[in-house]
Chain A
Amino acid sequence: KQEVTQIPAALSVPEGENLVLNCSFTDSAIYNLQWFRQDPGKGLTSLLLIQSSQREQTSGRLNASLDKSSGRSTLYIAASQPGDSATYLCAVRLGGAGGTSYGKLTFGQGTILTVHP
């Protein structure tokens, strides 16, 4: 059974800091890994998608890495801003034959990030 763990559970930093959020998973046979952002009471916004064959993806101030063999991913946020305050969730999708579009996402419990001015 795939289990996903996110560390830390909560993080509070001053504006401008660079920070790292961690995600680990127990079954390395993943198809891809996705990082999401969730504002309070809202849905999930996709930030980055990393395929199992990739090592990292970048979007603006965000960089996500993947080490499938060790079951780890990190989300790096550069020059944090108060607007980055949200819950960050990682989710893994187990492998599917032929890359077909199926397979549930297994989520971690999230990291609650607060960036104060």
Chain B
Amino acid sequence: ETGVTQSPTHLIKTRGQQVTLRCSSQSGHNTVSWYQQALGQGPQFIFQYYREEENGRGNFPPRFSGLQFPNYSSELNVNALELDDSALYLCASSTNSGRGTEAFFGQGTRLTVV
């Protein structure tokens, strides 16, 4: 059983640019969530995808968008990057099973906006 994998691990972008982060969910998981973690803070929920549709969104502007593909992998896109977007971006996958929706996280993508 493969775990959650994210790419790239590190990324440096210039303010105003666009970025795409990728996530492969754990085998058999149909739900993917994205979180933003600023330094010294707990992760903040961005949005969640279930069977290719967004079904929950946190307090993030529309320039944060996503996709989920038929194989349940996912992308997070951020347009018009701002300096405050610098953070660790975490992807989590889950499924409703006997373990009751346990979330498994990837290693994260460290985004630096300069």
A residues sitting closer than 8 Å to B (CB atoms) are: 4, 31-32, 34, 36, 41-46, 49, 51, 89, 91, 93, 96, 99-110
Contacts and interface: CB of A to CB of B under 8 A. Distances in A.
- Kindly list the 7 A-B residue pairs having the minimum CB-CB distance in the complex, ordered from nearest: A107-B42, A101-B96, A104-B45, A44-B105, A43-B107, A43-B108, A49-B102
B92 A105 contact: yes
A101 B96 CA distance: 5
B105 A102 contact: no
26 contacts: A4-B42, A34-B102, A41-B108, A42-B107, A42-B108, A43-B4, A43-B106, A43-B108, A45-B105, A46-B102, A46-B103, A46-B104, A49-B100, A49-B102, A91-B43, A99-B96, A101-B95, A101-B96, A101-B101, A102-B31, A103-B101, A104-B33, A104-B56, A106-B45, A107-B44, A109-B42
Given A4-B42, A105-B33, A100 B96 contact: yes
Interface of B: 4, 6, 30-31, 33, 35, 40-45, 48, 50, 55-56, 58, 88, 90, 92, 94-96, 99-108, 110
